[in-house]
Amino acid sequence: MRSLEVKNRTSTDDIKSLRLITALKTPYLPDGRFDLEAYDALMHMQILNGAEGVIVGGTTGEGHLMSWDEHIMLIGHTVNCFGGTIKVIGNTGSNSTREAIHASEQGFAVGMHAALHINPYYGKTSADGIISHFEAVLSMGPTIIYNVPSRTGQDIPPSVIRTVAQHANTAGVKECVGNDRIKEYTDEGIEVWSGNDDQCHDARWGFGARGVISVASNLVPGLMHELMFEGKNSTLNSTLMPLIEWLFREPNPIGLNTALAQLGVIRPVFRLPYVPLPREKRIEFVNIVKELGREHFVGDEDVQVLDDADFITVARY
Amino acid sequence: MRSLEVKNRTSTDDIKSLRLITALKTPYLPDGRFDLEAYDALMHMQILNGAEGVIVGGTTGEGHLMSWDEHIMLIGHTVNCFGGTIKVIGNTGSNSTREAIHASEQGFAVGMHAALHINPYYGKTSADGIISHFEAVLSMGPTIIYNVPSRTGQDIPPSVIRTVAQHANTAGVKECVGNDRIKEYTDEGIEVWSGNDDQCHDARWGFGARGVISVASNLVPGLMHELMFEGKNSTLNSTLMPLIEWLFREPNPIGLNTALAQLGVIRPVFRLPYVPLPREKRIEFVNIVKELGREHFVGDEDVQVLDDADFITVARY
Amino acid sequence: MRSLEVKNRTSTDDIKSLRLITALKTPYLPDGRFDLEAYDALMHMQILNGAEGVIVGGTTGEGHLMSWDEHIMLIGHTVNCFGGTIKVIGNTGSNSTREAIHASEQGFAVGMHAALHINPYYGKTSADGIISHFEAVLSMGPTIIYNVPSRTGQDIPPSVIRTVAQHANTAGVKECVGNDRIKEYTDEGIEVWSGNDDQCHDARWGFGARGVISVASNLVPGLMHELMFEGKNSTLNSTLMPLIEWLFREPNPIGLNTALAQLGVIRPVFRLPYVPLPREKRIEFVNIVKELGREHFVGDEDVQVLDDADFITVARY
Amino acid sequence: MRSLEVKNRTSTDDIKSLRLITALKTPYLPDGRFDLEAYDALMHMQILNGAEGVIVGGTTGEGHLMSWDEHIMLIGHTVNCFGGTIKVIGNTGSNSTREAIHASEQGFAVGMHAALHINPYYGKTSADGIISHFEAVLSMGPTIIYNVPSRTGQDIPPSVIRTVAQHANTAGVKECVGNDRIKEYTDEGIEVWSGNDDQCHDARWGFGARGVISVASNLVPGLMHELMFEGKNSTLNSTLMPLIEWLFREPNPIGLNTALAQLGVIRPVFRLPYVPLPREKRIEFVNIVKELGREHFVGDEDVQVLDDADFITVARY
């Protein structure tokens, strides 16, 4: 189903060169549909503050709560509006090989620059099965492999990564296991992005990582850019830690969703099964923002502590 | 769900100005999936020969044989690759208001310039129901209303058209009932495109039509461009009649599909319930091409009579 | 994908023997989802009053406003709750051969007794294409072919019916063209159900029709049973005419939906593009009920004239 | 959307009483669609050998590789053919609350007796989010909660189980964490099924578990029935261990799929990302069968070692 139109094509090397990729939040309207105005505003904030790529519909963007047609639509929308300025990486991975194939074909057809692919979470499979899964999609275009055993229930064995890394379309690995694992790969010439905001500074400057696929950069894109581009900076890294720790106390993107709503850049709407952080954590966030400086965060409004009644959770959408 | 990104926006006046719009054929791979390479080649032929707009997934493009995700993907693909050069009009109409809303939201989100909307065929509804149906989608962006009672089983009454035409997003009407009906509208300042290739010359030059939404232009885009732009030309119009009559002897796009396959620009693959024309009709087409001149038709290969065995019909895809 | 479980199987002869089949209304909750409690109640009324079969999700049941998963679910629900008492005929037809195949496979898998298949409306195709379309589904189980050119834009030619009728699974034809066409078929031994309530008495008693697939029987199942079973009865037939004429003044099921709501057996909820009849027609209905006798109609509540404000129309559901 | 038809209703107590529930394998045709003939045969083997319930489309049944319409269809099919003889528990859980709601509504509508619900795997959420997720579906009918952190990446905290267990529709918990956890619940009067074949004997006879939701019972239903019903039997339990260990050396259902194919009761077709076990493991299985006695296994054919070429893996279906 491949299209050869030049406009669609980005080289794998282009993807390999990215240092700051944001796993973008998907904002919602009160009825649970996408809030594209808010989304476009978030995209502008990313572009203006130096993000070079975005993951559309990642776990942070709640791709697992989208139907595939919503997901592909969002990729197509992002490419159409911003694809000339920033690399658009669609999370077209799935634990179903059929769905991963279908979504990746469609994502590349609407112009995404690269795909993010996960090993089959929940269902799990053998090492041979994981390789077959990735091989079913690798021929379609530039691809980042994503390893996050705390979500998938299964670590992708390094032997599988090594096999898959030989494909010309493999741009590299988003690795969440830790910096020793990262070093193992970067020593062999495999590009790696840290998937852990708290480890990404060291990964980048001490373990050979190319950069980060970040959640925190949704909030402080400029600081994350500085962390990845301006040289080793343990002071900045330490300064960011309270924010990062706060972000991940509950499974991501619960903290992020709560934070963006309090910064006034998205409506306080949650698709279930996500629910907002409790009030005491919401107060903590406001203090963190004041400590770090409101000017480093996205948005122009005062940060505020939202009330329970301000939040909307939607089950049918 | 609206996006305000400038790149997405085309004014209704831009749509109103189009004279030659092609209801584009969707080509298939042998397994029934879209053949995007062939599709992109068809798009190039349209652009090079002067088409100003395309209908994606119209009845000619077999939108009714697509799943909505395929359909939106094709719109997004077309916008991404060709949207800077040609107007992309998505046939996001449906006999289900829910589906029309869903598809139009998604189509505009991926950047289509206008929507084509049909009245509820097959299910049919009252005049009030038709108005409610169109009003549910008109706010989303520039819209062309499509009237083709021979397919829908129901003529859109002029009173409905007049009501709907008052919406600022209504670009005009694709009208298949005939040139007297067209004149009724154009006299009132409503833009109309003829939906009948055999009547479009007269519609354009004698009944006030803006132009045509054409099937024949898939085959002879240059001649159809001449017919719409270069002034009244009854000779050219007469010359085209044998081709046009041949095209519509069976329900469209059966003739078109057969013709494009014999011109070598698409694979001879039919999604059921369409099946190729029989051999004697295929021979006729080759003679028509020779009569009219191969150089006026799309593609570079010799036109040929395909054998029955050359054709593939697919039921599951 | 066929199952051989005996419980699933009904012979084509069983289907051929049915005289009163109701094209059942699908009732909705205020948010547009199915109202299964109301649906089950309607089913009971049909069974108690002598209907021998139901069409699930026909044009009357607004199958064209359902997603396929809703549609198959409704078939499965009906089979599970009532399949031992009444024949369940799923309208798994489509103008897309792929969808017709998919839905028919699923419908038979969940136990429907027969499929109703339409020729490809709106898209239309050649006679050869229509035959290929039907042949793609006929092997799956007992099938009724549905001809309604006023909806499809295309009369199924008798030659096509004759070809298709030779398949052992073809139970017969639901014919809306008229009683002369019916006689043409019944003379040849093809079973026919009239699809027109106003002609069904004559079709049954004068033109050889097996019976009727009825809309009016949603309202007066007992009288329709009498009309089909108790011998020629021109008086009863004439008595029913005002009701039947009222029912079809706007495209079906607009009248039926309005009537059932005023009888208090369904909530007054319309899925767009259907909208209720205007007040003057709603008053007429109440008078017709009184004339004919409330006791002949389904439901126990007084018939009432609903206000405009009582009706809910839903666009997203 | 609830239906009150008696036929649909099974009491939560009925579900609580089940001791042997099989997480049934879904067999495929060579093109990847369901093989319903083989499925029905597997169902008969379960019924004849004493299984009291089946999980349809569990992780063993590869529900995560189904589209929802396939999944609901399979539930409806199972209810229709076997619902009078065995309890049908649909795995209508999802990591998306929307999907869990939609699937559970549909599953109960087609007559399933109970739902199996998982906490949101992969996406994960907070304890409050997990409770909200389960509360969104619990009102629909009898429900078993499923805890399998090795797949979901997140243990359901006992505090959440205690909250959810108070709902009248909660039948109990399928617990894979181990027998100490099981005892914690059974001491409090919460029903538990062991989700681990290797621990289920002890769970049943020593830790208060009601019974097992078993994979091994696909192969040796009679022995598993004996293990659950005939009293403590460490000898039998030990005898089964080599089979159980073999089954789970790679993620389930890889071993099961391979085993059933070699027993000749299903076609050797795998939906990716599952691939068959390598030849040496296939030989091991044949030896295990011979050791344990062919007569204890499902099917009548000789067990055989299949060749690599006998297996079909499908990616598009």
| Model pLDDT for residues D114-129, shown as the tens digit of each residue | 999 999 999 999 999 9
Judge residue A118's burial from the number of C-beta atoms within 10 Å of its C-beta, 0-12 exposed, 13-18 middle, 19 or more buried.
Answer: buried
| Partner-chain contact A111 B80, CB within 8 Å | yes
Measure CB to CB from residue D5 to each of C74, C81, C110 and give the nearest one.
C81
Using left for φ > 0, alpha for ψ between -120 and 50, and beta otherwise, residue B199 falls in alpha
Q: In the A/B pair of chains, how many CB contacts fall below 8 A?
A: 103
In 3D space, the residue among D1, B98, D74 whose CA is nearest the CA of residue C66 turns out to be: B98
**pLDDT at residue C9, rounded to an integer:** 79
Res D7 pLDDT > 70? no
Rounded to whole angstroms, how far apart are CA atoms C197 and C185?
19
In 3D space, the residue among A39, A78, A23 whose CA is nearest the CA of residue A266 turns out to be: A39
| Partner-chain contact B73 A76, CB within 8 Å | yes
Catalytic, C174? Answer yes
Q: Is D315's Cβ below 8 Å from some Cβ in A?
A: yes
Whole-model pTM? 0.97
| Residue appearing with tokens 């259907």 | C274
Residues in chain D: 317
Measure CB to CB from residue A130 to each of D59, D125, D273 and give the nearest one.
D273
Measure CB to CB from residue A68 to each of B2, B3, B69 and give the nearest one.
B69
Q: Which residues contact C280 (CB under 8 A, 6 or more apart)?
A: none
Half-sphere exposure of B317 (CA within 13 A, CB side): 25
Nearest chain D alpha carbon to A137 = D315
Rounded to whole angstroms, how far apart are CA atoms A234 and A218?
21
Res A122 pLDDT > 80? yes
**pLDDT at residue D185, rounded to an integer:** 98
Nearest chain A alpha carbon to B70 = A106
Neighbours of B302 (CB within 10 A): 11
Residues in chain C: 317
Nearest chain A alpha carbon to D152 = A122
Q: Is D81's Cβ below 8 Å from some Cβ in C?
A: yes
Angle at D148 between CA A216 and CA A273, to 5 degrees: 45
pLDDT (mean) for B209-216: 98
Residues of D whose CB is below 8 A from C73: 72, 76, 106, 109-110
Judge residue D280's burial from the number of C-beta atoms within 10 Å of its C-beta, 0-12 exposed, 13-18 middle, 19 or more buried.
Answer: exposed
Q: Which of residues 17-56 of B touch A (CB under 8 A)?
A: 29, 33-37, 39-40
Q: List phi, psi (to 5°) of C6.
A: -60, -35
Res C5 pLDDT > 80? no
Residues of A whose CB is below 8 A from B80: 7-8, 76, 79-80, 83, 110-111
Neighbours of A116 (CB within 10 A): 27
Predicted confidence band at C1 (pLDDT cuts at 50, 70, 90)? Answer: confident
Measure CB to CB from residue D64 to each of A122, A153, A274 and give the nearest one.
A122
pLDDT (mean) for D41-50: 98
Catalytic, B25? Answer no
Q: Is A7's Cβ below 8 Å from some Cβ in B?
A: yes
Q: Are B63 and B90 in contact (CB under 8 A)?
A: no
**Of the listed C146, C232, C290, C317, which one is catalytic?**
C146
pLDDT (mean) for D249-270: 98
Nearest chain C alpha carbon to D70 = C106
Pairing of strands A312-314, D211-214: unpaired
Q: Is D112's Cβ below 8 Å from some Cβ in C?
A: no
Predicted confidence band at D2 (pLDDT cuts at 50, 70, 90)? Answer: confident
Measure CB to CB from residue C36 to each of D3, D34, D83 and give the nearest one.
D3
Our measurement of the distance from residue D237's CA atom to the centroid of its chain's CA atoms, rounded to an integer in Å, reads 20
**pLDDT at residue C7, rounded to an integer:** 59
**pLDDT at residue B2, rounded to an integer:** 74
Res D5 pLDDT > 90? no
Q: How many angstroms away from the CA of C34 is the closest CA of chain D? A: 6
In 3D space, the residue among C272, C268, C253 whose CA is nearest the CA of residue C311 turns out to be: C268
User: Mutation test of the interface with chain C: which of D47, D71, D73, choosing the one with the most C Cβ atoms within 10 A?
Assistant: D73
Angle at D63 between CA D62 and CA D69, to 5 degrees: 135
Mean pLDDT is lowest, of C2-11, C86-95, C290-299, for: C2-11
**pLDDT at residue C214, rounded to an integer:** 98
Rounded to whole angstroms, how far apart are CA atoms A177 and A155?
8
Q: How many angstroms away from the CA of C239 is the closest CA of chain B? A: 26
Rg of chain B taking only CA atoms, in angstroms: 18
pLDDT one-digit tens code per residue, C200-228 = 999 999 999 999 999 999 999 999 999 99
Percent of chain A with pLDDT over 70: 99
**pLDDT at residue D6, rounded to an integer:** 57
| Partner-chain contact A72 B69, CB within 8 Å | yes
Predicted confidence band at D9 (pLDDT cuts at 50, 70, 90)? Answer: confident
Tokens of B276: 């190729």
Burial code (b: 16+ CB inside 10 Å, e: under 16) for D210-227 equals bbbbbbbbbbbbbbbbbb
Active site residues of D: 146, 174
Whether omega before D276 lies within 30 degrees of 0, making that bond cis, reads: no
**Of the listed A39, A87, A174, A185, which one is catalytic?**
A174
Tell me what ipTM this predicted complex has. Answer: 0.97
Q: How many angstroms away from the CA of B100 is the closest CA of chain A? A: 14
Q: Which residues contact D103 (CB under 8 A, 6 or more apart)?
A: D68, D71, D72, D90, D92, D93, D94
**pLDDT at residue C8, rounded to an integer:** 62
pLDDT (mean) for B83-100: 98
In 3D space, the residue among B166, B235, B71 whose CA is nearest the CA of residue A73 turns out to be: B71
Res D224 pLDDT > 80? yes
pLDDT one-digit tens code per residue, C179-204 = 999 999 999 999 999 999 999 999 99
pLDDT (mean) for A41-50: 98
Neighbours of D187 (CB within 10 A): 10
pLDDT (mean) for B265-286: 98
Q: List phi, psi (to 5°) of B134.
A: -70, -35
| Partner-chain contact D273 A154, CB within 8 Å | no
Q: Is A312's Cβ below 8 Å from some Cβ in D?
A: no
**pLDDT at residue A3, rounded to an integer:** 78
**pLDDT at residue C143, rounded to an integer:** 98
Q: Are D181 and D197 in contact (CB under 8 A)?
A: no
pLDDT one-digit tens code per residue, D165-191 = 999 999 999 999 999 999 999 999 999
Residues of B whose CB is below 8 A from C124: 151, 251
Compute CA distances A170 → A14, A258, B111, D272, whole Å. Answer: 12, 34, 29, 20
In 3D space, the residue among C201, C218, C219 whose CA is nearest the CA of residue C209 turns out to be: C201
pLDDT one-digit tens code per residue, B194-204 = 999 999 999 99
**pLDDT at residue A9, rounded to an integer:** 79
Mean pLDDT of chain B: 97
Compute CA distances B193 → A264, B213, C80, whole Å. Answer: 46, 6, 51
| Partner-chain contact B315 C98, CB within 8 Å | yes
